Amino acid sequence: MEPLTSFNIFTNIVSQFWVVWLGIILVFLISIRTKRSTGLYGKLFDSPIGMTGFVLVLFWVLTALFADLIMTHNPLDQVSGMKNKVPGTPLRGATENDYQWYLLGGDHLARDVFSRVIAGSRIVLKIAPLATLFAFMVGITLGLPAGYFGKKIDTTLSFLANLILAFPVILLFYLLVTPEIIETGLPKYLAGVMFLIPILFMLLLWQSRFHIRPKVRNKFMLWTLLVGGWIYLGAAFNADPLVIIRNLFYGPEVEWSLFPKGLVYMQPNILIVFVSVVFVNSPTVFRIVRGMTMDIQTRDYVAAAQTRGETPWYIMLWEILPNARGPLIVDFCLRIGYTIILLGTLGFFGLGLESESPDWGTTINSGRKLLSIYTHPALPPALSLMSLVLGLNLLADGLREQSLKD
Amino acid sequence: MLQFILKRICVMLITAACLTFIVFFLTNLFPNLEKLAKNQGNIRMTDDAVISWLDKRGYSQNIFKKYGEWLGVLPSLKVVDDKGQAYSRCSRPSIPASEASDFCGLLQGNMGFSSVFKDEVSAIISKRLSLTAYLMMAVLSVMIPMALAVGVISGMREGSRTDRTLSTFSIATTATPEYVSGVIFIVIFASSKTGLSPFFAEWGWIDGRTIVKGSAASAMDNITFRNFALPVMALALYGMGYIARMTRASMAEVMTAQYIRTARLKGVKFSTIVFKHALRNALIAPFTVIMLQIPWLLTGVVIVETMFNYKGFGWSLVQAADNNDIQLLLGISVIAVFVVLVTQLISDIGYAFLNPRIRVS
């Protein structure tokens, strides 16, 4: 087998992504057809900056979704003789079924750089949006009452938020994301408190809206408690009800092929990464929500709701929050980008994630040691991270521009 | 004004006390202490031996008592074991425990003794901090003029083609954290195989094999463009986007103000309007942002110093944390927290001072 030329590497990579190109074309065709009826999302296609951002984000989302189709090799497999090989090197000892080349070369442990970048996108896009969503739930649930009631609640919560904000992020990571801290069980308790807040948020949402229709409320609340509680137990305490019930009936020795660790399971080291990222992000969200609540509560429609005798939580969740959605959506996009940078930082310092994990930060970290000799292992993850964050920032900019137009 | 400053300083001191206590708590958790005992004593220590090692050195006391000792408001515990050997946290290799003073804490100017570097923490920190100060000075002197220039130029004609180009550029810089731009810069400028260096070397434009160095280790003795350019650029690039965007927003707002329109209608030259009328009011908001950016640079400093092997403050943070050097980590945290709080204070006071519209009482 001959090594590939630069042009062939390029065409092979492009063809490897065929699923993604197809997906982008489909999404664009449908979106542009229906853009008059999809509100803010449709207006995005009037702004070139917003559209560029959307393409970049969509590219990585689809890549993460179809990673199994795009990857050419197993991201953890080490093939002897492929150590630090340049892009386009034919795979040594390849069989018929194998992909014949390492498209972007091999890293210092002879793994395929291309497949690792693709696998990394999956990890990054699994953690970052979810962690940002949690940070928003926490920030909103605490920011609304702080801005609405003011006084003691505001003073206390703002002091706590400022306390966390005054902590240098990197120091917090080094103190919180260590094996010793995991040993003490601290992340579990932090998660135990933090993950409770979204459930509380949902319950308040139903209670404030449907308290005069107890039947509807009870139905919503029951489902929230069932689904939320299941996820809560599985994610925070590693106590998935399915596993508990199985253990009760069959004992812990029986090996299960279907969901061996339950439906919801989070590795302890991922949990601490997740918790610390939420921890860093939520005070900023809190401050934004608090500021907007203070602003919006002087509006007439809030006064009208107060005169109608609505409860404070109804006003906060069903009057103020929907009217604050514009800036919150923009900030959500920006914050996912920031969270991705934070995850990269954690990976760069080898905190939390395993050393063989293909996420971009860890890959950059392992590639930088030989960077002046072999540039190919560290460059692709660095460019991937940059393009995804850039996409999110451009998307946020486009959304802001379009939402200001009306 | 004085009352406002005093109130802010009080809040700052309470915050500092809370934060240092949290750091103290997190670094003094039992697994950390156990690791310390095994590192300092014997790696195969039994659990009982660990406990007695910690007891003798006062690590097993109540966390609040330990915090008081570390702060220097409570006397340090002195233990004499059954062999007559005395232990105190104030003792040093040169000062035996029997002669050590009772108080040795932060308030006495004593930050403890580093278990890894075998030196006073305050001595290590002052040495490392001065190295980082050079880096920060270089970064700020590159970043602030660049950011302000980009912001002012794009903000003075909002919506123009220059504005769009520069805005996209500043968005791109905020999407490029130091560990990404560091990698890209090294590939382009500091690799003998890829990027521009091979061409430059072939054409004889540069002496060495690369344009600039990929390591800043030699900058600790002698700072040159070749060894300092990349870390400074990596840090400045990520920080400047945000300041530029804030400056742009502020500038664009000022340019729509009534008095600017009046000046234009009077026929004042555009450059005079920008420099004499608009700039002064437009730079109030970026001042706050620049001050708040300094603590943010701290994370960047840690990344860049690790990446370019520049042994400053950030590098020692990584060393202290990786090697479980509790006293050094505490000392570094105190400095970091102090920097954050002081810059916040300056930005608050400065904003109130610069902006006549803000009344503090």
DSSP string for B124-167: HHHHHHHHHHHHHHHHHHHHHHHHHHHHHHHHHTTTSHHHHHHH
Q: What average pLDDT does range B233-253 have in this prediction? A: 90
pLDDT digits (tens, 9 = 90+) for B85-132: 777 777 777 777 677 777 777 887 778 888 888 888 888 999 999 999
Q: What average pLDDT does range A120-132 have in this prediction? A: 92
Q: Which of A163, A181, A372 sits opposite B29 (nearest CB)?
A: A181
Please name the residue of chain A whose CA is at the shortest distance from the CA of residue B185: A379
**Annotation: CATH topology of B122-354:** MetI-like fold (1.10.3720)
Average pLDDT, chain A: 87
Query: What confidence category does residue B56 fall into, taking pLDDT thresholds of 50, 70 and 90?
Result: confident
Structure tokens at A122: 């999956």
Contacts of B299 in chain A (CB under 8 A): 168-170, 345
CA distance B248 to B158: 9
**What pLDDT shows up at residue A290?**
92
pLDDT at B68 > cutoff 70: yes
Range name among A27-41, A195-209, A243-257, B226-240 with the lowest pLDDT average: A243-257
**What pLDDT shows up at residue A128?**
93
Query: What confidence category does residue A135 fall into, taking pLDDT thresholds of 50, 70 and 90?
Result: very high
Contacts of B29 in chain A (CB under 8 A): 180-181, 184, 186
- What φ, ψ does residue B87 adopt, rounded to 5°? -130, 140
Structure tokens at A152: 């003691």
Contacts of B30 in chain A (CB under 8 A): 184
Q: Do A168 and B180 touch (CB under 8 A)?
A: no
pLDDT at A388 > cutoff 80: yes
Helices (H), chain B: 2-27, 30-40, 47-56, 63-71, 121-156, 161-174, 178-189, 197-203, 225-255, 258-266, 270-272, 279-282, 284-307, 313-322, 326-354
**What pLDDT shows up at residue B358?**
58
| pLDDT greater at residue A265 or residue A60 | A60
Rounded to the nearest angstrom, the gap between the alpha carbon of residue B12 and the centroid of all alpha carbons in its chain is 18
Range name among A89-98, A115-124, A144-153 with the lowest pLDDT average: A89-98
Q: What average pLDDT does range B272-286 have in this prediction? A: 83
- Radius of gyration of chain A, Cα coordinates, nearest whole angstrom: 24
CA distance A227 to A238: 15
Q: Which of B26, B182, B214 sits opposite A372 (nearest CB)?
A: B214
Query: What confidence category does residue B231 fall into, taking pLDDT thresholds of 50, 70 and 90?
Result: very high
CA distance A374 to A87: 11
Contacts of B336 in chain A (CB under 8 A): 168, 171
Q: What average pLDDT does range A294-303 have in this prediction? A: 89
Contacts of B176 in chain A (CB under 8 A): 386, 389-390
**What pLDDT shows up at residue B315?**
92
The count of residues in chain A is 406
Q: Do A348 and B179 touch (CB under 8 A)?
A: yes
**What pLDDT shows up at residue A356?**
84
Greatest CA separation for chain A: 80
Long-range contacts, A239-244 (Cβ 8 Å, 24+): A240/A264, A240/A265
pLDDT at B360 > cutoff 60: no
Which of A130-139, A254-263, B346-355 is the most confident on average? A130-139
Q: What average pLDDT does range B154-166 have in this prediction? A: 88
pLDDT at A45 > cutoff 60: yes
Residue B317, chain A, CB below 8 Å: the answer is: yes
CA distance A191 to A276: 9
Please name the residue of chain B whose CA is at the shortest distance from the CA of residue A362: B179
**Min distance B340 CA to chain A CA atoms (Å):** 6
Query: What confidence category does residue A373 fall into, taking pLDDT thresholds of 50, 70 and 90?
Result: confident
Q: Which residues contact A109 (CB under 8 A, 6 or more apart)?
A: A78, A83, A356, A366
Residue B19, chain A, CB below 8 Å: the answer is: yes
- What φ, ψ does residue B120 adopt, rounded to 5°? -60, 135
Query: What confidence category does residue A44 fall into, taking pLDDT thresholds of 50, 70 and 90?
Result: confident
Residue with tokens 């005070």: A283
Residue B318, chain A, CB below 8 Å: the answer is: yes
Range name among A353-367, A373-387, B28-42, B255-269 with the lowest pLDDT average: B28-42
pLDDT at A238 > cutoff 80: no
Residue B303: how many other CB atoms lie within 10 Å = 25
* β-pairing verdict for B78-80 and B86-88: antiparallel
Contacts of A178 in chain B (CB under 8 A): 321
**What pLDDT shows up at residue A281?**
92
**Min distance A388 CA to chain B CA atoms (Å):** 8
Residue B295, chain A, CB below 8 Å: the answer is: yes
CB A262 within 8 A of CB A237: no
Q: Which residues pair with B87 in a beta bridge?
A: B79
Q: Which residues contact A92 (CB under 8 A, 6 or more apart)?
A: A79, A80, A81, A82
CA distance to B155, B174, B195, B245, B293, per residue, from B147 (Å): 12, 12, 27, 8, 12
The SS3 assignment for B216 reads coil
Q: What average pLDDT does range B305-331 have in this prediction? A: 90
Q: Do A170 and B174 touch (CB under 8 A)?
A: no
pLDDT above 70 covers a percentage of chain A that reads 100
Determine what percent of chain A falls in helix, strand and coil, rounding each to the nearest 5: 70, 0, 25
CA distance B36 to B220: 30
Q: Which of B172, B191, B336 sits opposite A390 (nearest CB)?
A: B172
Q: Do A184 and B29 touch (CB under 8 A)?
A: yes
**Min distance A135 CA to chain B CA atoms (Å):** 20
CB B208 within 8 A of CB B118: no
Q: Which of A341, A371, A383 sits opposite B214 (nearest CB)?
A: A371
Q: What average pLDDT does range B270-296 have in this prediction? A: 82
Residue B13, chain A, CB below 8 Å: the answer is: no
pLDDT at A156 > cutoff 70: yes
**What pLDDT shows up at residue B357?**
64
Which of A248-262, A345-359, B273-287 is the most confident on average? A345-359
Structure tokens at B35: 């690791």
> ipTM score here?
0.88
- Chain A interface test: which of B164, B302, B316, B332 (most A C-beta within 10 Å): B302
Q: What average pLDDT does range B159-164 have in this prediction? A: 88
Q: What average pLDDT does range A350-375 have in this prediction? A: 86
Residue B29, chain A, CB below 8 Å: the answer is: yes
pLDDT at A78 > cutoff 60: yes
**Min distance A54 CA to chain B CA atoms (Å):** 15
pTM, entire model: 0.90
**What pLDDT shows up at residue A2?**
76
Please name the residue of chain A whose CA is at the shortest distance from the CA of residue B159: A401
Residue B196, chain A, CB below 8 Å: the answer is: no
**What pLDDT shows up at residue A406?**
61
Q: Do B184 and A337 touch (CB under 8 A)?
A: no
